[in-house]
Structure 1
Amino acid sequence: MGTMRALLSGYYGKGNGGDEALLATLLQMLPSHVTPVVLSGNPEETSDRYHVEAHNRMAILPVVQALRSCDALIWGGGSLIQDVTSTLSPFYYGGLMALAQTMGLKTIAWAQGIGPLLRPPTRWLARQNFAGCQAISVRDRVSAALLSEWHIPHILAPDPVWALQSQPVPGLWDLPAPRVAVTLRSHPQLTETRLANLTRALVDFQTATQAFILLLPFQKSEDLAIAQAIHPHLPDVSKILCLEDPQILKGVFRGVEMAIGMRLHSLIMAAAEGCRCFALSYDPKINRLMEELGMPGWDLANLPDDANLIGKTWIEHYANGDPLSSEQIQSLVDRALIHRELLSQSLIQ
């Protein structure tokens, strides 16, 4: 049992594979003397999966009691501080951080992807919150530039999920090879017309490559219906894989030749396991990853109307595209471990 207690706050326990991967990595990186206490949308599930103390993130009294019982608050990972997908999200996380700072807890912003921040009140709150942190790490250059503009010290390192240890997937090697993973999510930019074009392109791609298509919902509530809509168009040559454990989810990409994805962490996991990747971006964070890795892809808003062109582009990348080299992957993993060093240096007994 650790001698220091740290409250971990993020989008945990909401069934999102990327956020669960961030939590799993954070728990993997915590110093051994620190006992984690997790705020979760599903505390029972979080407690069972990770063997940690967990509390309902929206229950005010348990949250305040958890804060009182802890020495530190870690704002854990990802695009928590943005006001595009939710106007309430930055106020929830910002209010929690402000409360922790008022109560005298050591506060750490870990592996943040900041923004977009379009509204002056959320921008002001974010600046106050980050200024009050003892240590900050960010995962992209745009977030680093914003903190530099605010004169707030920070470190920049690749997303920590690069360093998440993957686990083998039971039964994966029994499925036909070669395999290609597809991760699409519900989003206003993924219109019915665009989904129909992507589906037609996927059918053409499968016919040309004879690949077995793995449809991977990263968040069932957002992704499963789309996977179920595509699956009947690829009978006998596709399978929907619903996996809850983030380490096993990352392990899928060990057995995959190429990944086509909207989800940021599907692309990071795939690239980390040596897959060719093709991005479909709905958010600046995907564009940042594409830019940093030289990853091909389209913004959904600019997706070609011609399914034939989409399919040909994927076939070309499947045949001739290059995954990251083992040296590039190792460099990204090594640099992602800077997030672990930040925790070790900040959470001193």
Structure 2
Amino acid sequence: MRALLSGYYGKGNGGDEALLATLLQMLPSHVTPVVLSGNPDETSQRYGVEAHERMSMSSVIKALRSCDAFIWGGGSLIQDATSFISPFYYAGLMALAQKMGLKTVAWAQGIGPLKRSQVRWVARQTFSNCTKVSVRDNASAALLNEWNVSYFLAPDPVWAMESKPTPGLWDLPAPRVAVTLRSHPLLTAPRLETITRALVDFQKATQTFIVLLPFQKAQDYEIAQAIQPALKDVSQILHFEEPQILKGVFRGVEMAIGMRLHSLIMAASEGCRAFAISYDPKVNRLMEDTDMPGWDLANLPNDANLISKTWIEHYANGDPLSPDKIQFLLDRASIHKAVLEDALT
């Protein structure tokens, strides 16, 4: 069996690459993956798979015709908060696959936000016609309940992604703290300046080494570069494209401060303390599900001293997830694997 995998792959986003890596890890052994990617050569080389240009309709149709199944490969693909066009792209591919008679799986989806009625209608129709659906959070499950679509609910599959040792990390001074920020309209210059001052105070108080960890180079690297001069010799920017290595970073740090959803999932799953700065409802859902401390970016305190004191307190006295809780989430995440096995028989 051949399955065409569709997601935000080949665009340099560590979280989406982690979803692809986990999907490939969970695919049944009799299924040959074919991947739609923004960088097919890189995707093919990294994962050892057949890959095609995601924006070339001729390549997409040719790939669909060669496959028996089509899989939305995880994450917030059906949402119109960041793009009006994006949900129609993904829904269009799914509808085409359904019309061609392929088995179709909406896998590990985080649905929404859906601000526009037409996007909501398209989402409902598309999910209703899928062979199998799995979602990663209660809010997505509530939408499917409202639409009378059957589904499986399980934690984000990246909880179960295998990690690899991180080159060079153990050569850096210990203890270490990872910081993962991303560009966002709410991360204004004054807010970034406040966060930077708080990080400086936090580092001085804890004597930690700050690992600035861009998850998507195009969006995050510039922010890391803006922060680093204030931390001079007590920080370093590390950038890794391979998601398993990216996850391995969190084995070697004492705490993570992050905006990126999957940076926080990776940190928590590796037994690292995590503190969230939420820019999106999906981060709030993770905070609720794991009792993870944090702030909404929109309500970030203006007082750098208050921020640093809060981080210091969490560093000194905060608890990571217990091994039992991590194992529970990992076991539950394997439901996404069972969905694939059931759908692709």
Category of TM-score, reference length = shorter chain? over 0.9
Residue 288 of structure 2 corresponds to residue 291 of structure 1? yes
Counterparts of 1:170-189 in structure 2, within 5 Å, are 170-189=167-186
> Given the alignment of the two structures, is residue 7 of structure 1 paired with residue 4 of structure 2, yes or no?
yes
Which residue matches 2:36?
A: 39
Partner of 2:191: 194
Aligned partner of 1:281: which letter? Answer: S
Counterpart of 1:245 in structure 2 is 242
The counterpart of 1:90, out of the listed 66, 87, 91, is 87
Residues of 1 paired with 2:66 and 2:119: CA distance? Answer: 28
Deviation digits for residues 313-339 of structure 1, max 9, x if unmatched? 000000000000000000000000000
2:141 to 139, 144, 152: 144
Could you give the per-residue CA deviations for residues 274-298 of structure 1, whole angstroms, max 9, x where no partner exists?
A: 0111000000000000011010000
Moved over 2 A (4+): none
For the residue of structure 2 that corresponds to 1:31, the secondary structure is coil
Q: Aligned-pair distance for 1:312?
A: 0.4
Corresponding residue SS for 2:55: coil
Percent of residue pairs bearing the same amino acid type: 76
Counterpart residue type for residue 333 of structure 2: A
Q: Secondary structure of 1:234's partner?
A: helix
Aligned-partner residue type, residue 64 of structure 2: L
2:270 to 266, 269, 273: 273
TM-score for both structures, normalised by structure 1 = 0.99
Matching residue of 1:115: 112
The offset of 1:174, in angstroms, is: 1.1
CA distance in structure 2 between the partners assigned to 1:228 and 1:331 by the alignment: 37
Partner of 1:20: 17
Q: Give the drift of 1:306.
A: 0.4
Counterpart pick for 1:52 among 46, 49, 53: 49
**Partner SS, residue 163 of structure 2:** coil
Are 1:99 and 2:90 matched, yes or no?
A: no
Q: Which amino acid aligns with 1:101?
A: Q
Partner of 1:203: 200
Give, in angstroms, the shift of residue 186 of structure 1: 0.3
For residue 183 of structure 2, what is the amino acid of its counterpart?
S
Q: Would you say 1:220 and 2:217 are equivalent positions?
A: yes
Q: Give the Cα separation in 2 of the matches to 1:36 and 1:98.
A: 20
Distance 2:338 2:302 in 1: 46
Deviation of 1:172 (Å): 1.1
The aligned length equals: 345
Deviation at 1:170, TM superposition (A): 1.3
Which of 296, 300, 303 is the matching residue for 2:300? Answer: 303
| 3-state secondary structure, aligned to 1:305 | coil
Gaps of 5+ in 1: none
Amino acid across the alignment from 2:339: L
AA matched with 2:4:
L
* Structure 2 CA distance for aligned equivalents of residues 296 and 56 of structure 1: 40
Alignment counterpart, residue 315 of structure 1, candidates 303, 312, 316: 312
Secondary structure in structure 2 of the residue aligned to 1:243: coil
Residue identity opposite 1:255 in structure 2: G
